[in-house]
Structure 1
Amino acid sequence: MAIGAKVLNAVERIGNKLPDPVFLFLWLILGLVALSLVGSGLGWSAVNPVTGELMQAQSLLSKENLEKLILGMPRTLADFPPLAIVITIIYGASVAERSGLFATAIRGALLNAPRAILTPVVVLTGMMSHHASDAGYVVVIPLAALIFAAAGRHPLAGLAAGFAAVSGGYAGNLFPGSQDALILGITEPAARLIDPAYSVNIAGNWFFIIGVVLVFTPIVWFLTDKVIEPRLGKWAPVPGFNAPAAEEKTPLTPEQKKGLAWAGLSILGMIALWTLLVFIPGSPLVDPDAGEGQTFNPLYRSLIAFFAITFFVAGGAYGAGAGTVKSHRDMVRMMGEGLSQLAPYIVLAFFAAHFVAMINWSGLGPILAVNAAAVLKEIALPAPILLIAVVLVSCFFDLFIGSASAKWSALAPIVVPMFMLLGISPEMTTAAYRMGDSVTNIATPLMSYFPLILTFAQRWDPRFGLGSLMSIMLPYAGAFLVAGLLMVAAWVAFNLPLGPGVGVHYTPPAPMEASQLPSEGGITGLPTPPEAAAIAGPGVAKR
């Protein structure tokens, strides 16, 4: 058996033995409780180099923490930032999705694509489909295969390009959306473990996700046209097998075109409204008294409301034009249906929220981050190398755990504070994580949509098996990984902005001297409280 097959079999065996992400968090919580007992008993502590605050490990079974856990359980869930952010955007996005706006816009983009640029249009449409939740998997990928066949090209090449864009290019988009809100919403409380005043906005990775589109699109274009399609050969239907007919590629109806026109006008209207809000005197979206580069922070934070309202208005406008929305009651029903599909995430959010909160209550997250930062500071690895490690760790975990938010909820409380202490911004650490979380989606059969994609492929060729699908997707995954690592390293090396007002590096409110970090790394080397006070020094004010 080839080495590659053995590795994939091992990944599948290990992945199948992992519990559901909900119970994964439950086991993590139980482990955290046990570790807090050990840490508090041994007097683990550290000093926050930013605030000068002495952080001591606290038992999660202490009276105070048990009160927080039991009496404050509803508040812990309500205070979990990603939950409120995602629900807010889903109110609008569910109307845009269920009225047919997203699916029709995707179909319109692909149906009208010239043959010469069919592949990049599929890629761009696939990445933009991330705004439509999982619609890209069930709309873009099978439609890409159908349109390739109608253009006289191999349908499985179209399927591969669509899958690579929708899943492998998960970190890419032209505009922030619900995924940015979800992931960056997890980043903010992690950053506040070190800097309580730190604020993250939905546009924190905007320029980076555009960069992913610009880098990944030509990769998919080249691999699809020059590697994958020639390998597949000329498309020939299997004798005795009825493949989907290319004639099923029906054009948009007049009602759908009318709905798209109305939706486009409504989006332009929302952009004009937000622009007006920025320039009116006393605008709530501008803070003239903020420091340099912070003037438009309110505008960036308002993007959550902007996308929620825009999706709602555009979805309603499309539905009115296309006839899929008959009254306001239809829109209310669509919002309810959209929220009902969030049920699995809300269940996961309950456990993730408590895990994040309990790391904070125990003090172990920032204590571990301070000491790990001390070790890395002594090793003196360049920032690009450190962030490449984040990409690789993210890639590895993605082989077993599909949920991006579940992985980031577990990793963020450790890696975000740790990298802040090394001068790397939370947004840059998040971008590195998102890159790693994207590239291996298309290479693992444990990915939740992998069986569905295989089903789509077998509509065209019943002999097409799991190994066949993996063999055509591995070139994309390998190229994405190399390009992703280079992109993260280059972003840091050239100190490129990640979003409006957001850079690669983190500058703490107070100077962070090397002497303020513990000189010894690891949990067992944590300083005792008197030693920690000496580390803080007189020049660091305690907040």
Structure 2
Amino acid sequence: MAADARETSAPRRNFFTRFLDGVEWLGNLLPHPVTLFALLAVGIVLLSGLLGAIGLAVEDPRPVGTSGRADDGMIRAVSLLSGDGIRRIFTGLTTNFTNFAPLGVVLVAMLGVGVAERSGLLSSAVRALVLGVPKHVVTVAIVFAGIVSNTASEVGYVVLIPLAGAIFYALGRHPLAGMAAAFAGVSGGYSANLLIGTIDPLLAGITQEAARLIDPEYVVLATANWYFMVASTFLITLVGSLVSIFIVEPKLGKFDAGKADPDILDDRMMEPLSDKERKGLMWAGFALLGVLALMAVTLVPEWGILRNPDTGDRINAPFFRGFVVWILIFFVATGFAYGRVVGTMKNDRDVINAMAAALSSLGLYIVLVFFAAQFVAFFGWTNLGAITAVTGANFLQDTGMTGPALFILFILMCCFVNLMLGSASAQWAVTAPIFVPMLMLIGYSPEVIQAAYRIGDSTTNIITPMMSYFGLILAWATRYKSDLGVGTLIAMMLPYTIFFIITWSSFFFLWTFGFDLPVGPGSPTYYSP
């Protein structure tokens, strides 16, 4: 494809664009991401030594008897410069790396994605999808697909985001703009969805335990925020699409193919499909139907083997907890079916070679994950994340506010804490015992409190390196821009965070306090002690 087909109009310069340029410049003053995580890990060790020496501690808000709660009811900064701390570092260095959740998920998923990519399936599917489709419709579809993909666990991170880059490249648009749109939907819109996902029963259980500190019989359902989540899906799709089209993509300007990995650039992406490729897609479709039928057999019937063996539940079940296996099966089955028809795959050796090639492309990501895993583990060992969460909660308590405006500070506090404590469940496990009883006593229901928390938790996922998949997104992005740094990625995603916080928080106030609509089935806005 001619170079001029890759160009877009010159980026518009205004105050907001210059502000993002400043963020990018400051962020890119930081060292290479691998070096940055290594330095952060060392910094946490040194800081823990200082804070441990001065005895920094806060009162643990969790109930007596909670797993992990100290006998004296305090959360103390743990020094990693002590003898025990140094021994823990040396014995845990390997397991920190191998047990880092995103690493296994990515490696397993990429085994399947590699087969689909090497066979030519992904290229043909992208071409079939984008040829003749208006560009703005593609942007909307990608953001929406990102939000909905959360139902299927990690599929959005390991499949949709890199696929979005390929789609935008095929359309002659900046691939990073496509990845940004997908990332905004998958991670920025984490708490918006049409369906109940695996995180919903987990958060509801934490909220229920916190609510029972006030009302021992209170029950919080997994569907507690479902109505608000469904409505938020369309809001985040709209806002994410507008930010992509009018802010992010214009700022990125034209795509410089000279800084991209040549292996991912294919100027045949816009060629019409051949008859053999159409036939291959048809057989891939048959393979897809077979996989879907197998999935249904394991989940839908009462005797489904991948339902929860204790409760029979379909959501909190091995089916979703092990969804990465379905990603592997899906791509191997459809990729091989396509490859057999078009002649790119003939036997098991071709499949194995495709898997090996896919993993060989993850070298930088694996190195980055090693150091990121150490940083995340050290941060957890020192209790600094939990101390930050409790300190922020105490600050809100000290404000003395009781009206709905309190939720503004609450959401912003959750945004801030999420920058350092990336796990939604870990953050809520520490803050829920503070906020849920406190806000219940002044008249707000646990379900509404949880909905507000989820806004704050989701909107800053896309700008914090503490988010488990941030390193993966960075690795994907460097395939299109080899000199891309942490600052570039943060500046690219910051507009989504800003507009998501403003619009989603406003929508929350309108939904709950303006129209007094329930955030979910049987979920009132107010609670009467």
The TM-score, its normalising length taken from structure 2, stands at: 0.62
Residue among 16, 27, 41 paired with 1:29: 41
**Cα shift at 1:77:** 1.1
1:98-157 per-residue CA deviation (whole Å, 9 max, x = no partner) reads 2222221111012254xxx55314642587596646654653224324xxxxxxxxxxxx
Shift in alpha-carbon separation, 1:384–1:304, aligned structure 2, 3 A: farther
Residue 60 of structure 1 corresponds to 80
Give distance in 1, aligned partners of 2:169 and 2:355: 26
Report the Cα distance in structure 2 between the residues aligned to 1:101 and 1:10, rounded to whole angstroms.
40
Offset at residue 257 of structure 1 (A): 0.9
SS at 2:460 equivalent: helix
Quick one: distance in 1 between partners of 2:143 and 2:316?
31
- Aligned-partner Cα distance in 2 for 1:169–1:222: 13
Name the counterpart of 1:124: 141
Alignment of 1:512-531 (within 5 A): none
Q: Counterparts of 1:79-478 in structure 2 under 5 Å?
A: 79-113=99-133, 119-121=136-138, 123-124=140-141, 132=159, 135-136=162-163, 139-145=166-172, 159=173, 164-172=177-185, 214-215=234-235, 249-280=270-301, 282-287=303-308, 289-290=310-311, 296-379=316-399, 380=401, 382-383=406-407, 385-387=409-411, 419-421=431-433, 422-423=435-436, 429-434=456-461
Q: Is the 8 A contact 2:415 2:459 kept in 1?
A: yes
Rounded Cα–Cα distance in structure 2 between residues aligned with 1:122 and 1:40: 49
For 1:221 and 1:17, the matched residues in 2 are separated by: 30
1:66 and 1:256 map into 2 onto residues whose CA distance is 57
Q: Measure, in 2, the Cα distance between the counterparts of 1:38 and 1:227.
A: 43
Q: 1-side partners of 2:365 and 2:241: how far apart? A: 34
The Cα of 1:357 is off from its aligned counterpart by: 1.6
* Superposition deviation, residue 70 in structure 1: 0.9
Secondary structure in structure 2 of the residue aligned to 1:171: helix
TM-score, normalising length: structure 1: 0.61
CA contact (8 A) 1:36 1:362 kept: yes
Q: Which range moved further: 259-268 or 206-215?
A: 206-215
Cα distance in 2 between the residues matched to 1:323 and 1:427? 48
Mapped to 2, the partners of 1:20 and 1:38 lie a distance apart of 27
Q: Is the 8 A contact 2:108 2:324 kept in 1?
A: yes
* Matched residue type, 2:38: L
In 1, the alpha carbon distance for the partners of 2:456 and 2:17 equals: 32
Q: Are 2:143 and 2:237, in contact at CA under 8 Å, matched by a contact in 1?
A: no
Asked if 1:78 is matched to 2:98, the reply is: yes
Q: Which residue of 2 aligns with 1:10?
A: 22
Q: 1:301 to 1:137 in 2, by over 3 A?
A: closer
Do 2:298 and 2:305's aligned partners in 1 also have CA atoms closer than 8 Å?
yes
Q: Partners in 2 of 1:63 and 1:247 — Cα distance?
A: 59
State the 1:411 CA deviation: 8.4
**How large is the RMSD of aligned CA atoms in angstroms?**
5.1
1:260 counterpart SS class: helix
Secondary structure (helix, strand or coil) at the match of 1:170 reads: helix
Kindly provide the amino acid, as one letter, of the partner of residue 371 in structure 1: T
Aligned AA (2:180): S
Structure 2 residue runs without a partner (length 5+): 1-12, 147-155, 210-224, 250-266, 437-448, 466-473, 482-490
**For residues 271 and 351 of structure 1, what CA distance do their matches in structure 2 show?**
38
